[in-house]
């Protein structure tokens, strides 16, 4: 393996991903920054008035006060209307999210939660509301320019700037929300995130060197839940310091309960790492995430296709769009080494081994359930046949078996379900559009 192609995991990557899965962090940070910005603007306004008073230019102070008084009407209107505006906009958005989750899959709600434009819009709306309230407290009731302490001119200008930014973000937010109610942008987003996980995997050759003898196992001590990710950089650092190798026993996405073995310790002649340190590097939550979960994108694409093929929905075209993206992802993964991922320290020594889905696992995840529901839909069966044959044309010989197996099972199911030879031939004819 060439170590120059290996990308070491970032120390803060887990924290960044966890914060992206929350909706509170960005608005809270924005409110803090807006408060600091207001303090700075208030200081500038006060310094400006003090400089004019020291120069004896009270007429300029009177003019600035008149300008800011005119702006006060706008600021007052903004402060009273912004919160109502926020409530109406996001109430409509929640209805859109509910409709999208019902039409596609409940798991796509995470797209709205992780959306940068949604968080930015909500943050700027709240920041504008807070800034307008703070600016109103800075207005001086004194009419005599000699007694005026501060004229909130810069603060008012910032408020108007925030209002303009809010309007632009509102347009962008509505545009994105409408896009995410359509199946095309949703499956494209899921595919893009799946490629992101695939690209973050270490580019490496197969490592066949046996691991040292297992000396201990670390069980999960927290709450039951889904294994979302592990702090790779921390585990590699601990293993290097102790001179051992750690192996993640469950896969990312597995459900673990207290006591489930999560880490196996191999080798190491000295003391073992603290179980608390190892346990804190394992993140368990309610839902799966894309951070290190290679199969999560295929899982969501399959869910959308299965819902589309259900008798209640009966939308085979949506299922075909999902199959398009599944084939796209499998085509990209076909030439990559899959299975166990070996994370190395800066000296190139393996310190952490993590099991990821193999090629057969990905093929089964992408095709098995859809194939079972596609028998009664010629549009989907034709697209599946075309996708399987496209993949068979360029995958390595060692990876043909799962594809051939699914093609044979699909052919057998269609031949059993459809009585007429013409119907069977039509349903099994390869067609990348299904039926146009």
Per-residue model confidence (pLDDT) at position 301: 94
Which candidate, 396, 14, 10, places its Cα nearest to that of 202?
10
* Percentage of residues in the chain having pLDDT higher than 70: 92
Q: Please give the sequence-ordered ranges of beta strands (E in DSSP) within 221-375, or none if there are none.
A: 225-230, 245-248, 255-256, 261-266, 282-285, 340-344, 350-355
Among 260-274, 304-318, 376-390, name the one with the lowest average pLDDT.
260-274
Q: State the residue for tokens 């810069």.
A: 154
- Dist CA 167 CA 44 (whole Å): 26
Assess whether pLDDT exceeds 70 at residue 298.
yes
Q: Which residues contact 144 (CB under 8 A, 6 or more apart)?
A: none
Q: What is the three-class DSSP state of 261? A: strand
Per-residue model confidence as pLDDT tens digits over 117-132: 888 998 999 999 999 8
* Per-residue model confidence (pLDDT) at position 115: 84
Angle between helices 58-103 and 25-54 (to 10 degrees): 170
Mean pLDDT of 342-351: 86
Q: Report phi then psi at 344, rounded to 5.
A: -115, 155
Q: What pLDDT does 2 receive?
A: 36
pLDDT-derived band at 276, boundaries 50, 70, 90: confident
N residues, the chain:
436
At residue 6, the pLDDT reads 40
CB 352 within 8 A of CB 241: no
pLDDT at 83: 82
Cα–Cα dist 126/281, whole Å:
34
Write out pLDDT tens, residues 309-340: 988 888 999 999 999 999 999 999 998 888 88
Are the C-beta atoms of 423 and 414 separated by less than 8 Å? no
Question: What's the confidence (pLDDT) of residue 1?
Answer: 35
Flag whether pLDDT at 383 surpasses 90.
yes
Place of tokens 């790492």: 273
pLDDT single digits (tens) 130-181 = 998 898 887 766 666 676 667 788 888 898 899 999 989 989 988 888 888 8
For residue 130, which of 79, 76, 73, 70 has the smallest C-alpha distance?
Answer: 79
Q: Is 312 helix (H, G, I), strand (E, B) or coil?
A: coil
Q: What is the pLDDT of residue 75?
A: 84
What is residue 287's predicted lDDT score, i.e. its pLDDT?
86
pLDDT computed for residue 331 by the predictor: 94
pLDDT for 5: 43
pLDDT in tens, 40-77: 998 888 888 778 777 777 777 777 777 777 778 888 88
426: buried, middle or exposed (CB in 10 Å: 19+, 13-18, 0-12)?
A: middle
Q: What is the mean pLDDT of residues 211-221?
A: 86
* Rounded CA separation 196/200 (Å): 6
Q: Rounded CA gap, 144 and 134, in Å?
A: 23
Q: Torsions phi, psi of 239, nearest 5? A: -65, -35
User: Mean pLDDT across the stretch 281-290?
Assistant: 87
Asked if 300 contacts 260 with a C-beta cutoff of 8 angstroms, the reply is no
Rounded CA separation 130/157 (Å): 15
- The pTM assigned to this predicted structure is 0.82
Structure tokens at 207: 């490592």
pLDDT at 4: 37
Which pLDDT band, with edges at 50, 70 and 90, does 34 fall under? very high
Mean residue pLDDT of the chain comes to 85
pLDDT digits (tens, 9 = 90+) for 408-421: 999 999 998 888 88
Question: Is residue 13 scored above 70 in pLDDT?
Answer: no
> Which of 406 and 11 is assigned the larger pLDDT?
406
Q: Whole-angstrom Cα distance, residue 248 to residue 342?
A: 11
78-113 burial, b if ≥16 CB within 10 A, otherwise e? bbeebeeebeebbeebeeebeebeebbbebbebbbe
Q: Residue 210: which residues within 8 A CB-CB, separation 6 or more? A: none
DSSP element (H, E) containing 219? strand 214-219
First-residue to last-residue Cα distance in the chain? 45
pLDDT of residue 11: 52
Whether 359 shows a pLDDT value over 60: the answer reads yes
């Amino acid at each position: 393996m060439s170590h120059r192609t290996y990308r070491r995991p970032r120390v803060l990557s887990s924290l960044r991903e966890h914060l992206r899965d929350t909706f509170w962090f960005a608005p809270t940070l924005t409110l803090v920054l807006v408060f600091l910005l207001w303090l700075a603007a208030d200081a500038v306004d006060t310094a400006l008035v003090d400089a004019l008073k020291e120069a004896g230019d009270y007429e300029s102070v009177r003019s600035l006060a008149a300008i800011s008084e005119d702006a006060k009407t706008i600021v007052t209107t903004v402060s009273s209307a912004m919160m109502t505006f926020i409530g109406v906009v996001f109430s409509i958005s929640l209805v859109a999210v509910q409709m999208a989750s019902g039409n596609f899959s409940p798991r796509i709600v995470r797209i709205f939660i992780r959306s940068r434009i949604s968080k930015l819009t909500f943050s700027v709306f709240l920041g504008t509301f807070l800034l307008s309230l703070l600016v109103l407290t800075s207005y001086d009731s004194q009419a005599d320019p000699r007694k005026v302490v501060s004229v909130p001119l810069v603060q008012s200008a910032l408020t108007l700037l925030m209002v303009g930014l809010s309007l632009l973000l509102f347009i962008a937010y509505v545009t994105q929300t409408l896009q995410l109610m359509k199946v095309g942008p949703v499956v494209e987003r899921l595919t893009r995130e799946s490629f992101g996980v695939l690209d973050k995997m270490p580019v490496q050759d197969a490592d066949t060197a046996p691991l040292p003898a297992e000396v201990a196992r670390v069980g999960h001590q927290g709450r039951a839940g889904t294994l979302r990710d592990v702090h790779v950089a921390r585990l590699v650092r601990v293993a290097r310091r102790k001179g051992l190798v750690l192996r993640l026993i469950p896969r990312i996405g597995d459900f673990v309960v207290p006591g489930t073995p999560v880490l196996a310790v191999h080798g190491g002649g000295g003391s073992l790492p603290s179980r608390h340190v190892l346990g804190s590097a394992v993140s368990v939550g309610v839902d799966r995430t894309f951070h290190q979960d290679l199969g999560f994108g295929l899982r969501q694409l399959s869910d959308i296709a299965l819902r589309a093929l259900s008798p209640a929905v009966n939308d085979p075209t949506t299922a075909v769009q999902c199959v398009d993206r599944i084939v796209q992802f499998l085509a990209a993964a076909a030439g990559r080494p899959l299975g166990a991922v070996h994370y190395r320290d800066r000296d190139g020594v393996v310190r952490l081994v993590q099991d990821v889905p193999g090629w057969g696992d990905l093929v089964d995840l992408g095709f098995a359930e859809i194939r079972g529901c596609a028998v009664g839909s010629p549009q989907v069966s034709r697209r599946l046949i075309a996708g399987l044959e496209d993949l068979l044309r360029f995958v390595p010989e060692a990876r043909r078996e799962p594809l051939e197996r699914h093609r044979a099972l699909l052919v057998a199911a269609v031949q059993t379900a459809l009585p007429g030879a013409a119907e069977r031939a039509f349903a099994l004819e390869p067609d990348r559009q299904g039926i146009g």
